Amino acid sequence: LVKGIARGASIYRETGNAVEGLATGLGVTFEESVWAVINTCELVSRGAMAVATSRPARYLGGKIGSALRAAKLGHDRPLSVRPDVSRS
């Protein structure tokens, strides 16, 4: 934003054309904003990838996966039925 304002102001001072200065300033501001979004996305994706592939994350993921598989296998088995014990 600051670069766009500075660039637009310098164009206006040089040429005296307000429309050209405004257009140049907006163009620079837009371009800098796009670059900021791209850099932020890259930083977030690299950080997420680093966290996902870290040893603690892989360890916890393996434990959670094992627990879910065990729960699924345990859920598929029928409940054991206790034999009816009559009291006589």
Cβ count near 32 (within 10 Å): 15
For residue 1, the SS3 value is coil
pLDDT of res. 34: 93
pLDDT of res. 61: 86
pLDDT of res. 56: 86
The ranges of the chain with pLDDT < 70 are: 74-88
pLDDT of res. 54: 85
* Backbone region of residue 16 per phi and psi (left: phi > 0; alpha: psi in -120 to 50; beta: other values): left
